Amino acid sequence: MVKECPLSDLAAKVATVRDCTLKVVGYDKGVFDQFEDLLMKLDHWGTEALQQELEVHTLCGPQLATQHQGVLKGYEEEKRALLSN
């Protein structure tokens, strides 16, 4: 469940699991306070990661798209050459 979960949705899924767990199990408040702190940090890190991803995409997107097109063109040329032999 967690492996395939996008980072932006992870905190909400963890909060759901936590809420269900609290209904079923007795808990130590200190442990869950630490857990809450970790969730807040995770949320903060996720936000930072998304912002950095956007910055990279904004700065490098056109170059990456050009390189991607070059790779695809090279692949198609190589494929045509191999298939024609």
Give the pLDDT confidence of 44-59 residue by residue, as tens digits. 999 999 999 899 889 8
Low pLDDT (below 70) residues in the chain: 1-3, 26-27
| H/E element, 40 | helix 29-84
Please report the pLDDT score of residue 40 as a whole number.
92
26: helix, strand or coil: coil
37 vs 72: CA distance, rounded Å: 46
Please report the pLDDT score of residue 12 as a whole number.
82
Please report the pLDDT score of residue 1 as a whole number.
54
Please report the pLDDT score of residue 27 as a whole number.
66
With 0.75 as the threshold, say if the pTM is over it.
no
